[in-house]
Copies of this chain bind each other. A is one copy, B any other.
Amino acid sequence: MSFNSFGQSFRVTTFGESHGPAIGGVVDGCPPGIAFRLEEIQAALDRRRPGQSRFTTQRREPDEVKVLSGVLPGEDGLLTTTGTPVAFLIENVDQRSKDYSAISESYRPGHADYAYDVKYGLRDHRGGGRSSARETAVRVAAGALAMKVLPGVTVRGALVQMGDIHIDRASWNWDEIGNNPFFCPDAQAAARMADYLDGIRKSGSSVGAVIEVVADGVPPGLGAPIYGKLDADLAAAFMSINAVKGVEIGEGFASAALTGEDNADEMRMGNDGKPIFLANHAGGILGGISTGQPVVARFAVKPTSSILTPRKTVTRYGEDAEILTKGRHDPCVGIRAVPVGEAMMACVLADHVLRARAQVAVPPAWPFARPEA
């Protein structure tokens, strides 16, 4: 009954609050002999780091990650996992707790403040405490390590909707992701998003977004039929990211309007002895198990709940009140959710690679030989 761990065989446990001395986490189950460099973990963290454009919170956190255990140091900074738990530590630097004193009594609508208080009887109100998105930095570190357990797999995320601005899928270009501050694969949509979000930001408002994460190179056979489903674990993983309210695999909600003929991903044998799917409505997962097609998932992020417009609320002492949330906030938390979504996909896939081995150490060689008559 853990509350702060996810994954079973590649198991990540995190700790830490927004305004405590540090956040961190432990990866249990990482195989031995995995080589990586600290800079690779740091690079992943830098993509999520706040304060990189005017569209994210101005909190200045270097997010410098340390590896405390589970590795043997080698030459040239190469670290090799030993099979023992890998612990990450990231110190909090720029806390400014006093910004939050006004909200210690009144609950912020859209935030977990009331739910926390009524559950625990007390809460760390400083920066949202444990429910701050700051915790996701640890996920990103774990995800960077997870990628090392997934040779041949590429995991990429993209922001595909902000407010009412949808990308044009015909214009999808992964190379554009790094050219705008939104991880948006459509340059034109990104330009519109910049204009739109400037207005949102200046008015102290916020807006939601949809993120798509695609994993290429995923081997078939990951997952299990009933409660060990790859898509169920992805759904839980994405839904566990702050502010996420919906998750889809493949066609997702659009599949409700399809017929069986439309939805069938037909198959043909390819020249390399592997099957080819003629479509990917399934998003790479059938019956909870990966098919070898790209795994495609989306999640919806609600608008940041911290806004400058006063809202009606109540205090922890049962009085009506008004509240507006000062402090430093992202006008669209969906942006920084992109690398977090990638990390969660990587962690879930790494977990299932390891879990699948427990039942079948070496997967069977497909196609099978036809038995003699």
> A285 contacts which chain B residues (CB < 8 A)?
115
- Taking CB atoms, residues of chain B closer than 8 Å to A255 are 208, 245-246, 300-303
Using Cβ atoms and an 8 Å threshold, which residues of chain B touch A66?
21
Contacts of A239 on B, CB cut-off 8 Å? 229, 231-232, 234-236, 247, 249
- The residue of chain B having its C-beta at the shortest distance from the C-beta of A105 within the complex is B370
How many copies the complex holds: the figure is 4
Q: Are A260 and B306 in contact (CB under 8 A)?
A: yes
Minimum CB–CB distance from A55 to chain B (whole Å) comes to 15
Contact flags A279-298 to B (C-beta < 8 A → 1, else 0): 00111011111111000000
Cβ of A51 within 8 Å of any chain B Cβ, yes or no, is no
Is the C-beta of A179 less than 8 angstroms from some C-beta in chain B? no
Q: Is the CB of A312 within 8 A of B240?
A: no
Interface status of A373 (Cβ within 8 A of chain B): no
B200–A259 CB distance below 8 A: yes
Q: Check A16 for interface membership: any CB of B closer than 8 A.
A: yes
- The answer on a CB contact under 8 Å between B316 and A367 is yes
CB neighbours (8 Å) of A303 from chain B are 255, 258-260, 262-263
- A287 partner, pick from B111, B227, B269, B301, beta carbons under 8 A: B111
Chain B residues with Cβ under 8 A from A223's Cβ? 115, 119
Which residue, A303, A305, A319, has most C-beta atoms of chain B within 10 A? Answer: A303
**Is A80 among interface residues, defined by CB-CB distance under 8 A?**
yes
A234-B236 Cα distance, complex, nearest whole Å: 8
Q: Is the CB of A208 within 8 A of B263?
A: yes
A359 in the interface (beta carbon within 8 A):
yes
A273 at the interface (CB under 8 A from B): yes
Q: Which of A24-32, A42-50, A170-178, A183-191 contacts B (4 or more CB under 8 A)?
A: A24-32
Which residues 215-242 of A have a CB within 8 angstroms of B?
A: 220-229, 231-240, 242
Set of chain B residues within 8 Å of A23, measured between Cβ atoms: 69
Interface residue? A164 (CB, 8 A):
yes
Chain B residues positioned under 8 Å from A354 (CB to CB) = 358-359
Asked if residues B114 and A286 are in contact (CB atoms below 8 Å), the reply is yes
Q: Mark A332-356, 1 if CB is under 8 A from B, else 0.
A: 0010000000000000000000111
Q: How far is the CA of A242 from the CA of B226 in the complex (A)?
A: 8
> By the criterion CB–CB under 8 Å, are A3 and B130 in contact?
no
Asked if A148 CB lies within 8 Å of chain B CBs, one says: no
Residue pair B226, A135 in contact (C-beta under 8 Å): yes
**A240 & B226 in contact (Cβ 8 Å cutoff):** yes
| Contact residues in B for A93 (Cβ distance below 8 Å) | none
Across-interface contacts of A232 in B (CB, < 8 A):
235-237, 239-240
The listed residue with most B CB atoms (<10 A of its CB), out of A33, A225, A258, A265, is A225
The minimal Cβ–Cβ distance linking A219 to chain B, given in whole angstroms, is 9
A112 interface neighbour in B124, B249, B258, B289, Cβ under 8 Å:
B289
Please name 18 further chain A to chain B contacts, defined as beta carbons within 8 Å, in addition to the given A2-B227, A208-B256, A235-B235, sorted by A numbering: A1-B8, A15-B68, A17-B82, A22-B69, A26-B26, A30-B359, A110-B264, A120-B359, A130-B226, A131-B226, A162-B256, A163-B257, A163-B259, A205-B259, A209-B256, A235-B247, A255-B300, A260-B304
The 6 closest A-B pairs by CB, nearest first: A112-B287, A318-B367, A121-B364, A119-B221, A115-B289, A206-B260
14 contacts between A and B (CB under 8 A): A5-B28, A23-B69, A116-B287, A117-B368, A121-B364, A162-B256, A231-B245, A235-B236, A235-B247, A253-B253, A264-B305, A281-B302, A317-B367, A354-B359
